[in-house]
Amino acid sequence: MKRKLTVILLAAALCLVLMCMAACNPLLSDISKAQKNAVQNAVTFNCTATVADRGVTVYVYSKTLTVMSDSMSVTTAESTLNSSFVLEEKSVSEELQPDRSLIKTVDLSAKNVAEATEAEGGVSCKVTADKLSAVLGTEITAEGDAQVFAAMQDGVLNSVTVTFTTQGKTVTLEYKYSY
């Protein structure tokens, strides 16, 4: 009798966990579809990484891709603090063959996202520090959870913002898509 009760309770708990996971999946599925659409249809993609130390911006890296029918313009700008503690920017532009694989996305699948909630203008997600590298597709050591906000309108992805702390500095990554 105890064994039956244990099996029934475990089955009920498993069903509850699966229902909770299924509740998040539509939001994450919407983001995934919107990201695929962004890679295929975005005319301009901008990725900006900003590093702040105690609220003061100390580093900015930006890459902008503009896709045309037969070419792609890539502009990279990097701003660092100079000896006068003023951000100094250096930029480089180049023309390439169109390559949509350069348009970056983040992996906000259910295996990487701890929480996903619908928020005004999009979806807000919490990513644990141990999953951040998988989300970004590069090795990152974060101190604590990362916050991700995917701004969407009518199923179209406008931007994804990822904020986390590493080595005592706040890092904000922003991916913007224009159509």
Residue 120's pLDDT is: 92
Mean pLDDT of the residues in the chain: 87
Residue 31 has pLDDT above 70, yes or no: yes
Using one digit for the tens of pLDDT, what is the confidence trace for 62-111?
999 999 999 999 999 999 999 998 999 999 999 999 999 999 999 999 99
Residue 3's pLDDT is: 59
- Strand intervals (E) in the chain: 44-53, 56-67, 72-81, 87-96, 115-119, 122-127, 146-153, 156-166, 169-178
Residue 37's pLDDT is: 85
Which of 136, 133, 142 lies closest to 168 in space, CA to CA? 142
Distances (CA, A) of 177 to 34, 35, 125, 152, 167: 11, 9, 19, 10, 29
Q: What's the start-to-end Cα distance of the chain, in Å? A: 62
The four Cα atoms 80, 81, 83, 86 give a dihedral, to 10 degrees, of 120
Using one digit for the tens of pLDDT, what is the confidence trace for 123-139?
999 999 999 999 999 99
The label of the residue with tokens 């920017």 reads 89
Residue 6's pLDDT is: 47
Residue 12's pLDDT is: 46
Residue 137's pLDDT is: 92
Residue 19 has pLDDT above 50, yes or no: no
Residue 122's pLDDT is: 93
63 token code pair = 């890459």
35-45 mean pLDDT: 91
6-33 mean pLDDT: 58
